[in-house]
Structure 1
Amino acid sequence: MTTPIIVILIVCAVAIIGFLMYYYNGKLVIIRTLSKIPQKTTSSLKTNELSKVSGKALHVEAPLIAPYSGRTCVFYQMKIQKKVSNGKSSHWKTIVSEEKFQAFFVDTNGDFVIIQPKDYPRNYICHLVTDKSQSSGTFNDSTPRFVALLKRYNIEPETYFGFNKTLRYEEGIIEIGERITVAGIAKWKSLSEPFLEYPYSKIATLESEGKQKLIITDLPEMLPNRNRR
């Protein structure tokens, strides 16, 4: 096989790998999938129909508190990474990754849909916009809040010799009152006991079923035009 052909094959292989990585990027998969699912109001949801709704996220119980920002939320994702050098190259190594959530309402103009993500088995896929970040490094001292967060996860902000470690933090949340989009299989459930501030005997829910998982995101581009802010 001649050298030009080998070069062409290598270039094609790299291009294909790059395309597949782009095409199957988690965010883009969610955007493509949600774009194909019909937008519904709560009252128009039909049992066993794949649907999506958009509205304000509201807590069912005492809300979660985001680790760094301290904001009240129903879902958060966070990670702490450390820059690791290896000879001439370096990369970011994730040393803490945490995701917490609870059941929550989606308020679609006064009508409620309840969403119940679960971990075992995992019944959802999710993409949250990173809206808080923090970092430290040789000439970038950690803020007191960042130091407190690091110590909470048993991470020392400095090396043995007193130099700042190169660290970074990212946080994405579904804040109380934030507009989000959720898709799943629609069901109507009877309530043996009404939820707090929800006096009705039935409530709509979106669920996972079979291979269809719940899809949860706060991507602004997934909101109907009238709800974007």
Structure 2
Amino acid sequence: MPLFTDFEPFLIPILFIIIVGLIIFITYYFSTKQKIIRTLSKLPIKQIGSLKNNELTRFTGKALHVKEPLVAPFSKRKCVFYVIKIEQQKSNGKQQSWRTIVHEEKVQDFFIEKNSDFAMVRLHQNPKNYTSYLVADKKVKSGTFNDPTSEFKALLESYHIKSDNFLGLNKTLRYSEAIIEIGEEITVAGIAKWKSLKEPIEGYSYSKIAELESSDKQKLIITDLPNIKSKKRF
């Protein structure tokens, strides 16, 4: 009993550390990024020409547009997929937090190409037939002593957001942008389907093309994370 009493003052701090560590681990392990990495690592890496119908597989190659590409709102880069977020810092007494005021995601169908082989990737947002993780590579922010750049201010105005408050002081705002740029190397996983080509593709001489699709049980997976290793290779 005395031994237990000696440790009693340390029990609450130890339990607190264990609980915080568990929360951090669970948040990390079940994050979209880690779930995508775990799923892709279990799938074989294949060449497009060796894909089989109805086979779940992954493929890495360059993203190419099918139609007029999208244009990222801030960087103005041409792309087939972008995700942007505008957040404002809010204070509640001593605590500060970020509130999302704009979250926009736009996609379009695109080709993925490697060594002159093409596959089509068809994306739908309603209902959403894919899960994704894109690396945010454009970030900008403003604050009390940090005026927004003219480009950032123009972006905010396009979303009807004022960069200052009623006192004329800058709001604390931040912007992040993640895209799949034309020609960027990405990884896509999905159900392979071979289909007849309705219109010719420049540089592609075959009459059929592989499409990577979703199913009722399997969404397409899309990421621009580099160097995701596979436990299987064919």
Give the TM-score normalised by the residue count of structure 1: 0.91
Structure 2 residue ranges without an equivalent (≥5)? none
Q: Counterparts of 1:17 and 1:48 in 2: how far apart (Å)? A: 38
2:118 equivalent in structure 1: 112
Q: Name the SS for the 2:97 alignment partner.
A: strand
CA RMSD of aligned residues (A): 2.0
Q: Name the SS for the 1:222 alignment partner.
A: coil
Q: Counterparts of 1:105 and 1:45 in 2: how far apart (Å)? A: 15
State the shift of 1:223 in Å.
7.8
**Is 26-35 or 143-152 further displaced after alignment?**
26-35
Task: Say whether residues 1:37 and 2:12 are aligned partners.
Answer: no
**Is 56-65 or 8-17 further displaced after alignment?**
8-17
Contact 1:194/1:201 (<8 A) preserved: no
Structure 1 residue ranges without an equivalent (≥5)? 225-229
Distance 1:93 1:195, change over 3 A: farther
State the shift of 1:14 in Å.
3.0
Task: Say whether residues 1:188 and 2:194 are aligned partners.
Answer: yes
Contact 2:43/2:58 (<8 A) preserved: yes
Q: Counterparts of 1:223 and 1:15 in 2: how far apart (Å)? A: 27
1:160 equivalent in structure 2: 166
Q: Counterparts of 2:125 and 2:11 in 1: how far apart (Å)? A: 46
Contact 1:38/1:52 (<8 A) preserved: yes
Q: Counterparts of 1:114 and 1:82 in 2: how far apart (Å)? A: 38
2:19 equivalent in structure 1: 13
Aligned residues: 223
State the shift of 1:19 in Å.
1.5
Distance 1:223 1:172, change over 3 A: farther
Q: Name the SS for the 2:183 alignment partner.
A: coil
Contact 1:180/1:219 (<8 A) preserved: yes
1:143 equivalent in structure 2: 149
Deviation string, structure 1 residues 101-152 (Cα, Å, up to 9, x no partner)? 1000001110100001111221111011111011001111111110000000
Give the TM-score normalised by the residue count of structure 2: 0.89
Q: Name the SS for the 2:136 alignment partner.
A: coil
Q: How does 1:125-144 map to 2 (within 5 A)?
A: 125-144=131-150
